[in-house]
């Protein structure tokens, strides 16, 4: 199984976990460009996995590896049991200590784990011992501005045996508002011996470059930046490994990517579901176009691939003639 090939030192770019977004098509499109980007599953509830170990949640195609499985939960026994279930399929395991959503934090999961660092450490070391896999954790700056504890939290996880950590440089109270504070990532990098991956608002190669220069992080974890540009992980890796800067995709290239994404989702889910699913992505693909929100509001009303492609062609035509 390819999962054994993972060498932590080779990881430069991580596809951040994206619940409801990252499916087999999404990962396949990233892989077309980057063979080494570490993919991550969307968060998998340890409770759900223990109650119903459905193979569809844990079995992946060979091209999706290296693949980190992200677990969410706060009960040591459930997290260890879930980790054992996934361990034959996982290149490594990531512990979710960053999800801000109310229904997750209410039971002490996700970013609420930052309030219980001892428990987070207990879970991490128990999973490592039970599976013998590399284990990482993804967390935020803290619960709120006045409760920022990312340095103590990171140090505690390092002592518990974390192979690396990913810091999303916002607090739980920020949710997704405001800007990620990359200066805080630098503070963590300076304090830890294990690799730190920078996360939050890295949407272009230039963002990655600036963030890495500022923070000296080992690499980056990208979520929304990939949602309109599947070449981004590859281009960041090329920059980190060889210093080569490949320009951002043109609008024409983005629209081609969008059409292909749409087509593959239609094949994967059927036209009704595929078209509905793709509504989450338009903002990202056409964000650079003038009147993007106007086009998006049209695209989300369409329910078949042919009509969507027609509107995309119109956008391209208008844009290329500068008729916006």
Burial of 98 (0-12, 13-18, 19+ CB in 10 A): buried
Pick 223 or 274: Cβ nearer ligand FMN: 223
Strand, coil or helix: 52: coil
| Residue in the structure block whose two tokens are 């504890």 | 149
C-alpha to C-alpha distance for 227 and 167, rounded to whole angstroms:
20
From the candidates 37, 50, 97, 99, which is the catalytic residue?
Answer: 99
Smallest separation (angstroms) from ligand FMN to the CB of 303: 22
Smallest separation (angstroms) from ligand FMN to the CB of 219: 13
Question: In the annotation, is 99 catalytic?
Answer: yes
Contacts of 206 (CB under 8 A, 6+ apart): none
Smallest separation (angstroms) from ligand FMN to the CB of 128: 19
Smallest separation (angstroms) from ligand FMN to the CB of 232: 10
C-alpha to C-alpha distance for 71 and 96, rounded to whole angstroms:
6
| Residue in the structure block whose two tokens are 């964000």 | 287
Handedness of CA 96, 100, 105, 108 (dihedral sign): positive
Pick 16 or 39: Cβ nearer ligand FMN: 16
Which residues here bind ligand FMN, judged by CB under 6 A?
Answer: 16-21, 42-43, 70, 96, 98-99, 138, 168, 199-202, 222-225
Pick 211 or 262: Cβ nearer ligand FMN: 211
Contacts of 222 (CB under 8 A, 6+ apart): 13, 14, 15, 16, 199, 202, 203, 208, 232, 233, 236
Pick 43 or 82: Cβ nearer ligand FMN: 43
Q: Provide the annotated active-site residues.
A: 99
């Amino acid at each position: 199984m390819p999962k054994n090939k993972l060498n932590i030192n080779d990881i430069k770019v991580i596809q951040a976990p994206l619940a409801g977004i990252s499916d087999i098509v999404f990962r396949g499109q990233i892989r077309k460009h980057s063979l080494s980007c570490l993919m991550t599953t969307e968060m998998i509830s340890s409770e759900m996995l223990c109650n119903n170990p459905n193979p569809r949640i844990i079995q992946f195609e060979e091209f999706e590896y290296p693949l980190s499985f992200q677990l969410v939960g706060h009960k040591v026994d459930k997290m260890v049991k879930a980790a054992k279930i996934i361990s034959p399929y996982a290149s490594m395991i990531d512990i979710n200590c960053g999800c801000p959503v109310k229904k997750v934090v209410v039971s002490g999961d996700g970013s609420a784990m930052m309030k219980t660092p001892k428990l987070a450490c207990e879970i991490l070391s128990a999973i490592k011992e039970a599976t013998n896999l590399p284990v990482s954790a993804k967390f935020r700056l803290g619960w709120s501005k006045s409760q920022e504890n990312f340095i103590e939290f990171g140090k505690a996880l390092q002592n518990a045996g974390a192979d690396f950590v990913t810091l999303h440089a916002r607090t739980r109270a920020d949710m997704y508002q405001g800007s990620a504070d990359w200066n805080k990532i630098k503070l963590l990098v300076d304090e830890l011996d294990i690799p730190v991956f920078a996360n939050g608002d890295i949407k272009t190669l230039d963002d990655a470059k600036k963030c890495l220069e500022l923070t000296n992080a080992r690499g980056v974890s990208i979520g929304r930046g990939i949602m309109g540009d599947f070449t981004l992980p590859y281009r960041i890796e090329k920059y980190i490994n060889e210093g080569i800067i490949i320009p951002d995709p043109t609008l024409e290239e983005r629209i081609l990517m969008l059409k292909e994404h749409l087509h593959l989702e239609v094949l994967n889910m059927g036209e009704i579901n595929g078209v509905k699913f793709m509504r989450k992505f338009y903002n990202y693909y056409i964000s650079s176009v003038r009147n993007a929100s106007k086009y998006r509001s049209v695209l989300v009303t369409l329910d078949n691939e042919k009509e969507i492609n027609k509107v995309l062609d119109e956008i391209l035509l208008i844009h290329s003639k500068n008729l916006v």
